[in-house]
Chain A
Amino acid sequence: MTRLHIDWTACDGRGLCTELLEEMLVEDEWGYPVSRDGTTEPVVPPPLEDAAKRAVDRCPMLALKLVRR
């Protein structure tokens, strides 16, 4: 299963990912992304894989990673 890993030490809460992947992520009150399903490493549904890849690519801090587990 593909999961989205967010490196919290790198993330600066610029919110690009919450725009590109709004089906999975929302901004908390400080602009940091949190997953809608409440897990720390949310599962990426297959139809959203391309959107997730784009979010990973555009993150200005390189804080996002797709992991398989």
Chain B
Amino acid sequence: MTDALWYFARGSGVVALVLLTIVVVLGIGSRSGRSVFGLPRFAVSLLHRNAALLAVVFLAGHVIGLLFDSYAQLRLFDLVVPFVGKYRPLWEGLGTVGFDLLVAIVVTSLLRNRLGAGVWRAVHWLAYLCWPVALLHGLGTGTDRGTWWLWTISLTCAGAVVAAVGWRVSPAFARFPARAERRVAPRLLEEASR
């Protein structure tokens, strides 16, 4: 029984990482204002949201499995406060940080209409911190650390996110690049430099 919990916790952690990768890629895709992978824009946005909610489900499985697992000896406390765990505190703590960030991102998204777009967007930027933290957590701790298959999954996920972020910061990203160009009267620049 304890073994089953351990397998379950490990498996759901890996699935959560893969889902989070999909969420980040689709999130960047929906930010582009283009159709991505042949999907209309509203579908990209819906998939982004639904994959995120599914990732939360698997992450909950991962955490609950570890709470009841006799090896990990995770305490409720460890879900909120990072780096104080008994077992590999640094790597486990990264998991806690990622978990807390994801909870913040998802909760603010669900309450988006009440919080307003500004707060929601500010918190949503934390996704760029949450994802690498989750990746490192997976690479640094757990029984599967260092196995070829976990490396393969992790590197594939990293490749996907790096490609998406590269696209995001490239000039080809915006659908109307000319629109984003803001010209300032030379007079104002002169005044500012004085």
Is B168 on the interface with A (CB-CB < 8 A)?
Answer: no
Query: Chain B interface mostly helix, strand, loop or mixed?
Result: helix
* B45, CB-defined interface residue at 8 Å: yes
B window 97-115: CB within 8 A of A: 112-113
Instruction: Give a binary string over B174-186; 1 marks a CB under 8 Å from any A CB, 0 the rest.
Output: 0110010000000
Q: What separation, in Å, do the CA atoms of A10 and B117 have in the docked complex?
A: 9
Determine if A16 and B179 form an interchain contact, defined as CB atoms under 8 angstroms apart: no
Chain B residues positioned under 8 Å from A62 (CB to CB): 112-113, 116-117, 120
Main secondary structure of the interface of A (DSSP, over half): loop
**Structural contact, A15 and B117, CB atoms closer than 8 A:** no
Q: Quick check: is B46 within 8 A (CB to CB) of the other chain?
A: yes
Residues A31 and B175 in contact, CB atoms below 8 Å apart: yes
Shortest distance between the CB of A52 and any CB in chain B (Å): 13
- The interface bits of chain A over 4-48 (1 if a CB of B lies within 8 angstroms of the residue's CB, else 0) are 000000101111100110000000001100000000000000000
Interface size in chain B (residues, C-beta < 8 A): 16
Complex contact B30–A60 (CB within 8 A): yes
Partner of A31, one of B42, B116, B120, B176: B176
Q: Indicate if the CB atoms of A16 and B41 lie closer than 8 Å.
A: yes
In angstroms, Cα B33 to Cα A17, docked, is: 11
**B112: which A residues are within 8 A, CB to CB?**
62
How far does the alpha carbon of A19 sit from the alpha carbon of B30 in the complex, in Å?
13
Query: Are the C-beta atoms of B117 and A31 separated by less than 8 Å?
Result: no
Pairwise interchain contact A16-B42, C-beta atoms closer than 8 A: yes
Q: For residue B165, give the distance in angstroms from its CB to the closest CB of chain A.
A: 18
Interface mask (B5-46 → A, CB under 8 Å = 1, otherwise 0): 000000000000000000000000011010000001110011
> Which chain B residue has the least Cβ–Cβ distance from A20?
B42
State in angstroms the CA–CA spacing of A31 and B109 once bound together. Answer: 25
CA distance A7 to B116 in the complex (A): 13
Which A residues lie within 8 Å of B45 (CB)? 16, 58, 60
Does chain B have a CB within 8 A of A61? yes
Q: Which 10 A-B pairs have the closest CB atoms?
A: A62-B117, A14-B33, A19-B42, A16-B42, A20-B42, A19-B40, A16-B41, A30-B176, A30-B179, A15-B41
Which residues of B are in contact with A by a Cβ distance under 8 Å? 30-31, 33, 40-42, 45-46, 112-113, 116-117, 120, 175-176, 179
